[in-house]
Amino acid sequence: MGFVLRWIFALVLVAATYNPTEWNYIAWITRSWPDQMPLAVLLGLLLLVGYIIYLRATLRSIGAFGMGLILAIFAALVWVLIDFQLLNLDDPGLNTWLAILALSFVLGIGLSWSLVRRRLSGQADVDDVDEV
């Protein structure tokens, strides 16, 4: 359940920043920047904090190579779905949602990787050891 929750928060973070609907930060800020500048700055800073938390944890746990590997696995999965004719990439909105899903998986796995590695190997990271 822990990974799913981390992934859902990552999905919300990425989708709240941009998605193909009108309900996202980028679309809202382009419409209402002059009228809602203080709120836009506050929400932008909150999004930035969320990205810093996720990206820092992801880069520390799986690194750039791991991020690329997860994206490659996701791309291969999309390729298989296209090959089996279960997915068609003619819709730009669907392509955007697939990119959002891929990025959220990278961030969710990156934030959860230390916990997964500890469960698989039984070894704790130096940052994970509780002080008594």
Q: Is 110 in contact with 54 (CB distance < 8 Å)?
A: yes
* Token pair for 113: 């990787």
| Whole-angstrom distance, CA of residue 89 vs CA of residue 81 | 10
Report the pLDDT value the prediction gives residue 118, as an integer from 0 to 100: 81
Q: Which residues of 21-126 form beta strands (DSSP E)?
A: none
Report the pLDDT value the prediction gives residue 127, as an integer from 0 to 100: 60
- Domain limits of the chain? 2-123
- Give pLDDT tens digits for 88-101: 999 999 999 999 99
Report the pLDDT value the prediction gives residue 21, as an integer from 0 to 100: 96
Q: How much is the mean pLDDT over the chain?
A: 92
Q: Is 64 in contact with 110 (CB distance < 8 Å)?
A: no
